[in-house]
Chain A
Amino acid sequence: MCFTTFGAIFLSMAKHWWKALAVLLVLYTIIGGFLLPVPRLQILHETIRNLYFHVTMWFGMIIILTISIVNSIRYLQTQKIKYDIVADASSKVGLLFGIAGCINGSLWARYTWGAWWVADAKLNGAAISLLFYFAYQILRSSITDETNKARIAAVYNIFAYVMFMVFIMVLPRMVASLHPGNGGNPGFGKYDLDNNMRMVFYPAILGWTLIGIWLLSISIRIKKLQIQNE
Chain B
Amino acid sequence: MNKYLLLVLSLLTALPNIILAQMPTNSEIEMADAMVANGKIYVVVGVLTIVFVCIVTYLIMLDKKVSKLEKQIKK
Interface residues of A (CB under 8 A from B): 19, 23, 26-27, 30-31, 34-35, 39-42, 45-46, 194, 214-215, 218, 221-222, 225, 228-229
Distance in angstroms between the alpha carbons of A46 and B41 in the assembled complex: 12
A221 B49 Cβ-Cβ under 8 A:
no
| CB within 8 Å: A-B pair count | 53
20 contacts between A and B (CB under 8 A): A19-B63, A23-B56, A27-B53, A31-B45, A35-B41, A40-B26, A40-B31, A41-B24, A41-B29, A42-B29, A45-B31, A45-B32, A46-B31, A214-B63, A215-B59, A218-B59, A218-B62, A221-B70, A225-B70, A229-B73
B30 A45 Cβ-Cβ under 8 A:
yes
Shortest Cβ distance from A54 into chain B, in angstroms? 15
Contact of A225 among B59, B62, B73 (CB under 8 A): B73
A34 B24 Cβ-Cβ under 8 A:
no
Distance in angstroms between the alpha carbons of A34 and B60 in the assembled complex: 26
Given A30-B48, A30-B52 in contact, is the A225-B66 Cβ separation under 8 Å?
yes
Chain B residues with CB under 8 A of A40: 24-27, 29, 31
Q: Encode contact with A along B20-51: 1 for CB under 8 Å, 0 otherwise.
A: 00001111011110000000011011001100
Apart from A41-B24, A215-B59, A221-B70, 8 more pairs, CB < 8 Å: A26-B52, A30-B49, A39-B24, A46-B32, A214-B59, A214-B63, A218-B63, A225-B73
Shortest Cβ distance from B47 into chain A, in angstroms? 10
Interface residue? B69 (CB, 8 A): yes
Distance in angstroms between the alpha carbons of A19 and B55 in the assembled complex: 13
Interface residues of B (CB under 8 A from A): 24-27, 29-32, 41-42, 44-45, 48-49, 52-53, 56, 59-60, 62-63, 66, 69-70, 73
Shortest Cβ distance from B72 into chain A, in angstroms? 9
A218 B66 Cβ-Cβ under 8 A:
yes
A221 B66 Cβ-Cβ under 8 A:
yes
A26 nearest CB neighbor, chain B only:
B52
The CB with the most chain B CB atoms within 10 A, among A30, A221, A229, is that of: A30
Distance in angstroms between the alpha carbons of A221 and B68 in the assembled complex: 11
Chain A residues with CB under 8 A of B66: 218, 221-222, 225
A30 nearest CB neighbor, chain B only:
B48
